[in-house]
């Protein structure tokens, strides 16, 4: 399993078809797409010349060997080094329910190939924040003050019943926002700690935070 990664690409919503076509050309079995929005203010968008904060988010599974080539190619083809265009990164997958389903997700997976494992040290991390709907700006203000470069928001909903018990003051079944922030590893702890203390689970924001290692990254990360 150490050879499989989840690739996440976040880009301009207007280019969603171009991103999906790119992955189709790479011969991947499955790419899942959804939409979200960026957290930059209108003033920042105007300065950068981006014009819109609407985002597409694409999830794909691939081998670690193939991911390096794909990240290099998508950075070149989609101009990810240009401010505001997008970001693409990979996260290691630790397990899956069956080898049969793994081969459905990743057609070029070789279960006889010896695993090389993952590097423990990572330069970047993905900080994931789950917060009550309507509190994104509160959460992102705290995150920015702690050093976060920005984030992407996806609307979500908990699967618990409305009458279920609260989890540290957060109603599981309520409307949620998921915030994805890719940041330097040395800053992830301070961002998570600030969110916990100022807009954490026992506040109206109800934010719950965790982080995941990022193997490789294509696109701009300046902080």
CATH architecture assignment, domain 124-214: 2-Layer Sandwich (3.30)
168: left (phi over 0), alpha (psi -120 to 50) or beta: left
Residue 165 predicted with pLDDT over 50: no
pLDDT recorded at residue 54 = 86
What is the pTM (predicted TM-score) of this model? 0.78
What does the pLDDT average to over 89-114? 75
Name the segment(s) of the chain with CATH classification 3.30.70.120. 4-116, 124-214
Per-residue pLDDT tens for 21-76? 999 899 887 788 899 988 876 655 554 444 458 899 999 989 888 999 999 999 99
Residue that wins the pLDDT comparison between 200 and 96 = 200
Per-residue pLDDT tens for 79-99? 888 777 789 999 998 777 777
Contact (CB, 8 A) for 89 and 75: no
d(CA 90, CA 4): 10
d(CA 95, CA 2): 8
pLDDT recorded at residue 44 = 56
Residue that wins the pLDDT comparison between 149 and 154 = 154
pLDDT recorded at residue 38 = 86
pLDDT recorded at residue 56 = 92
Which CATH number is correct for 4-116, 3.20.20.70, 3.40.50.150, 1.10.3720.10, 3.30.70.120? 3.30.70.120
Residue 169 predicted with pLDDT over 60: no
Residue that wins the pLDDT comparison between 42 and 200 = 200
Residue 31 neighbours by CB distance under 10 Å: 19
pLDDT recorded at residue 94 = 75
pLDDT recorded at residue 112 = 62
Q: How far is CA 125 from CA 76, 209, 221, in A?
A: 22, 13, 11
Confidence of residue 183 (pLDDT cuts 50, 70, 90): very high
What does the pLDDT average to over 141-165? 77
- Please give the share of the chain, as a percent, with pLDDT higher than 90: 42
């Amino acid at each position: 399993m150490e050879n499989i990664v989840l690739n996440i690409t976040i880009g301009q919503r207007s280019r969603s078809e171009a991103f999906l076509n790119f992955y189709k050309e790479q011969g991947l079995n499955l790419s899942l797409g959804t939409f979200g929005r960026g957290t930059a203010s209108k003033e920042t968008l105007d300065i950068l010349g981006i014009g819109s904060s609407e985002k597409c988010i694409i999830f794909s599974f691939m081998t670690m060997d193939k991911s390096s080539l794909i990240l290099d190619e998508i950075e070149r083809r989609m101009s990810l080094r240009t401010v505001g265009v997008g970001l693409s990164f990979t996260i290691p997958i630790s397990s899956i329910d069956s080898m049969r389903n793994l081969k459905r997700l990743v057609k070029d997976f070789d279960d006889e190939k010896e695993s090389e494992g993952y590097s423990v040290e990572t330069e970047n991390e993905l900080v994931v924040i789950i917060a009550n709907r309507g509190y994104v700006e509160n959460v992102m203000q705290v995150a920015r003050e702690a050093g976060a470069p920005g984030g992407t928001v996806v609307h979500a909903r908990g699967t618990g019943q409305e009458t279920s018990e609260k989890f540290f003051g957060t109603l599981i079944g309520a409307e949620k926002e998921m915030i994805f922030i890719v940041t330097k590893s040395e800053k992830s702890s301070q961002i998570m700690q600030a969110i916990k203390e100022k807009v954490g689970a026992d506040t109206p924001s109800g934010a719950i935070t965790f982080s995941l290692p990022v193997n490789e990254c294509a696109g701009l990360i300046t902080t």
